Chains A and B, each alone.
Chain A
């Protein structure tokens, strides 16, 4: 062990748990914050659904919700779930935890920058949380923050709420920019001997693609956010037509970022599922290189589809068909990824452990969301469907499946490695089945509400004659939401109880091939003992004919050849 390493190992409680530069501790700090925000975002959704089912009645613990508060709930639920749940958990926690371990590195290449990134995120969380308590309340202009509603306090009555919302998002972007630089650099320069790019596990490829997407797309939105903040505070008019500005400029900037952002969230979760499927099918992933290719193609296409969010925005209607074509083309690489997942099951030896259930839940629910995307991608169909609950149903089938089904696949799969404890299987099964059922009870009927003409972001459906006969669907969806929230209780019990008193986990409980399972559970500081592992093969060598075991770890030495000059 080098002296530098020994020095690195000397640390107090303070530097171990709080201001730590260890990628695994930082991962857990992101995870803890993400889990906190899930509770907030979930309860906001519960309050929204209560208001929609039983308008203007008292919500338990909150009291009556008026339209102002409802708009805040809508706005903050969306903002929190995308930027403060999906990103910290899928990228912050799993990107940090997995990338160094899976490529055989001791830590991130810039550990201090990594620490700065998580604490910048904590500051962003604090600012966003504070925005609930300032006079005028939290932001209420929608998570998309369209000006002029968002640009002048007089239109919403919200003053500091939206300023802090912009500031909180800016800090969040800064945090994930630092994280992204770290992910990309680490994966390029710190791969273990033998870990060629063609042997890097798919989840790492997905994380890197997501990081690159974020780096390339967020710039215009940061410029837009600065302009919006200046419009609000300094009286500039970037988005005010009476001062020569244009509200549509924001929509272009927002969605130029917004569509890639969807894939920033999607790709890591897709990566979890791509890791879990081969392990529990005991079979190589179907078409490793093709999957990487499809991912890169989808990422590239995501930069030229943004205006499909704006078909009816007032942009030149002749732009709709070109964007409709690019949008519909993006379903091709995703169709590849989905079919490759299904093909991985073909002739496997499938076992239904809890991570596999979540992975299959992701696969099926995401197919549902992908298919409704075809409706929205068609410009003429979108004339009717845009801005209705059909869209709400669509993006929850894609995003909920990504963040929760994909995310839980990751949590249940890597929990033993992260915390060195085994999760309870029975509670895991209960959590999965209840979530699957009540997710569908909540969101499937929203397709019908949308088709029936219910527009988004209204606080009281009973104000519309056409919706009164359909109110029972709103009530049904609300019962679904309340049960869906309750269905998370087994999960909360499971992680707390297992973390404190669960059975110790073996190093490789799933008989998986990737490098993180070669480290102890949980891995010590700097991950590996005296030397980092050497990689001999690709990441998905399951059921190789003629081998005694049905898995070959990436670092197990080939029997025929021995390495020369490297005593172990």
Chain B
């Protein structure tokens, strides 16, 4: 219960470990601050509890010399904050900005309360006769960068792959790109993470990550 990092589900994406490392960095930093502040409060409450014949000190904390007792810790907070933030910047860029050239594109459209997964088919282009639509199941090969084009037909949904540390809202009127690359075959849950109406609870799909040969077989079966 105490170590929060153990609660994260298994990571199976290439960038998930970087996200987890940022969470871990913040976890260790904030735990230290929790102990420091709680320790100071506890210590002061015991040491300076009311005692007969011991008046409180008349310290106003207005002069710079006194204020430094607080300003120095505040400066440390500022430095740590910036450090945490700038440590996170490359991770954010990796997940959300620098999308690698992907071999496979899939269009994922949310609508109340299903997921439409559109594959471009052998010609690799959307809007042609060999496109195929799958409901609530997404099949991808392992170890390949996958590009998802996220859309919505009605309300805001959110594409959440907990095991991949990926979340992205799907907004009607927009096409938002995301990407991921799986490191391990398996069946993973894909819940909707944005309140989208009465069927929000239970609006989920599964992501099937296949070894390459198994994926090729699946493709042949579907497009035969």
Chain A residues proximal to chain B, CB less than 8 Å: 66-68, 70-71, 74, 140-142, 146-149, 155-157, 241-242, 245-248, 281-290, 312-314, 317-318, 320-321, 324-325, 328-329, 331-332, 335-336, 338-340, 342-352, 360, 363-364, 367-368, 371-372, 374-375, 377-381, 383-388, 447-448, 451-453, 455-460, 463-466, 540, 542-545, 550
The CA-CA distance from A441 to B62 in the complex, in Å, is: 39
Q: A247-B173, A458-B200 are in contact. Are A318 and B45 (CB under 8 A)?
A: no
- Taking CB atoms and an 8 Å cut-off, the chain B residues in 157-207 that contact chain A are 158, 160, 162, 165-174, 176, 189, 191-202, 204
* Docked-complex contact B19 and A384, CB < 8 angstroms: yes
Within 8 Å CB of A348, what residues of B?
44, 48, 56-57
Distance in angstroms between the alpha carbons of A383 and B171 in the assembled complex: 16
The closest CB in chain B to the CB of A461 belongs to: B201
Closest 3 CB pairs of A and B: A241-B173, A286-B61, A453-B162
Task: Determine if A349 and B56 form an interchain contact, defined as CB atoms under 8 angstroms apart.
Answer: yes
Listed by A's residue number, 30 A-B pairs whose Cβ atoms lie within 8 Å are A67-B200, A148-B156, A157-B198, A245-B173, A286-B59, A288-B60, A314-B170, A325-B85, A332-B74, A335-B77, A336-B70, A348-B44, A348-B48, A348-B57, A350-B48, A367-B37, A371-B30, A374-B26, A379-B88, A380-B95, A383-B19, A383-B165, A387-B193, A388-B193, A451-B8, A455-B160, A457-B195, A458-B201, A543-B58, A544-B58
- Asked if B54 is at the interface of the complex by the 8 Å CB criterion, the answer is yes
Pairwise interchain contact A320-B22, C-beta atoms closer than 8 A: no
B32 nearest in chain A by CB position: A371
Q: Judging by beta carbons under 8 Å apart, are B89 and A146 in contact?
A: no
Q: How far apart are the CA atoms of A245 and B7 in the complex, in Å?
A: 40
B26 near A375: Cβ-Cβ < 8 Å: yes
Interface membership of B50, Cβ < 8 A:
yes
**Given A374-B26, A464-B204, A140 and B198 contact (CB-CB distance below 8 Å):** yes
**Chain A residues whose CB sits within 8 angstroms of the CB of B55 once the complex forms:** 282, 349, 543, 550
* Known contacts A339-B70, A347-B56; A155/B155 CB under 8 A: yes
Whether B223 sits at the interface, judged by CB under 8 Å, is no
Given A347-B57, A368-B34, A456-B195, residue A381 in contact with residue B74 (CB < 8 A): no
Give complex CA distance A66, B200 in Å. 12
Tell me if B18 counts as interface (CB < 8 A to partner A).
Answer: yes
Looking at the complex, which one of B41, B69, B162 makes contact with A364 (CB distance below 8 Å)?
Answer: B41
Q: Does the CB pair A447–B4 fall under 8 Å?
A: yes
- Whether A351 lies near B77 (C-beta < 8 A) is no
By a CB distance below 8 angstroms, the chain B residues around A336 are 70-71, 74
Tell yes or no: B149 within 8 A of A by CB. no
Q: Is the CB of B198 within 8 A of A156?
A: yes
Known contacts A67-B199, A155-B155, A347-B48: A340-B19 contact under CB 8 Å: no
Q: Is the CB of B70 within 8 A of A286?
A: yes
User: Would you call A284 and B4 a contact (CB within 8 A)?
Assistant: no
The verdict on B133 contacting chain A, using a C-beta distance below 8 Å, is no
Q: Which of A74, A281, A332 contacts B56 (CB 8 A)?
A: A281
A204 → chain B closest CB, angstroms: 18
With A140-B198, A347-B57, A364-B38 known, 14 other A-B pairs at CB within 8 A are: A67-B198, A148-B154, A286-B60, A331-B81, A363-B41, A371-B34, A374-B30, A375-B23, A378-B22, A381-B26, A386-B167, A458-B200, A465-B189, A542-B58
Per-residue CB contact flags for chain B residues 89-111 toward chain A (1 = under 8 Å, else 0) read: 10110011100000000000000
Measured between beta carbons, the chain B residues less than 8 angstroms from A66 are: 198
Bound complex: CA A350 to CA B43 (Å)? 12
Q: Which of B4-19 contact A (CB under 8 A)?
A: 4, 7-9, 18-19
- Which residues of A have CB within 8 Å of B18? 380
Contact of B198 (CB < 8 Å), options: A71, A142, A378, A465: A71
Min C-beta distance of A380 to chain B, whole Å = 4
In the complex, which residue of chain B has the Cβ closest to the Cβ of A145?
Answer: B195
A290–B19 Cα distance when bound, in Å, is 37
Contact A314 B57 (CB under 8 A): no
- With A331-B81, A380-B88, A543-B57 already in contact, the answer to whether A290 and B70 are too (CB < 8 A) is yes
